[in-house]
Amino acid sequence: MSEKILISQSVAILIDGNNIERSLETEYGADSRMVNFNVLIPRLLGERGLNRLIYFREGQNISSRLADKLHADFYGSVRACHKSADIPLSIKATQLSGKVDTIIILSGDSDYVELVRHLKGEGVRVEICAVENHVAQVLKDEADHFYLMQKTDCFGAHMPQQRPKPKRAPSTGKNRR
């Protein structure tokens, strides 16, 4: 008789938004540059618990809809970065290293190699999720696990047998009769 093993890992997901958006747009086209978090996050977590989800993005023009959706679905947040997300994401990862078992970084940028090494030295499991042709091999090699971000993890990506759901007219908040 085999019993199911309870996995009690706390996971933080840190997203380099600019890196992922550029990678997806280059790889799959403009229609697929936004991540469908409702598909990707459950795949990354498996049976583990989500502790934090933070989307780092350069600039001040950050979609309030994205922030609202991440908060509503995952209690996530969006952080505007002055320039690149590398430093703010690295600082947050270091701050969280004593509070979580695993940190998943969504980026293929080799700038995170030293961060990955540091976190692993602190006893944190580090996983990378990125687009195959836009990830540094050294980053994949240093990580404890690599997830390939696929077109099906994006909006605008539909399997051949699927059809997009029809759009509903926006609700005015009033009861219609």
Q: Which domain holds residue 126?
A: 10-153
How far is 130 from 35, CA to CA, in rounded Å?
Answer: 11
Encode pLDDT of 128-143 as tens digits.
Answer: 999 989 999 999 999 9
What are the phi and psi torsion angles at 12 (to 5°)? -110, 135
**Domains contained in the chain, number:** 1
More confident residue, 98 or 4: 98
pTM for this entry? 0.83
Is residue 113 included in any domain, yes or no?
Answer: yes
Chain position carrying tokens 């690599």:
146
User: Which residues in 10-167 belong to E strands, given as ranges?
Assistant: 10-16, 49-58, 77-81, 102-106, 125-130, 145-148
How far is 72 from 88, CA to CA, in rounded Å?
Answer: 23
Encode pLDDT of 75-119 as tens digits.
Answer: 999 999 888 899 999 999 999 999 999 999 999 999 999 999 999
Give me the CATH number covering residue 24. Answer: 3.40.50.1010
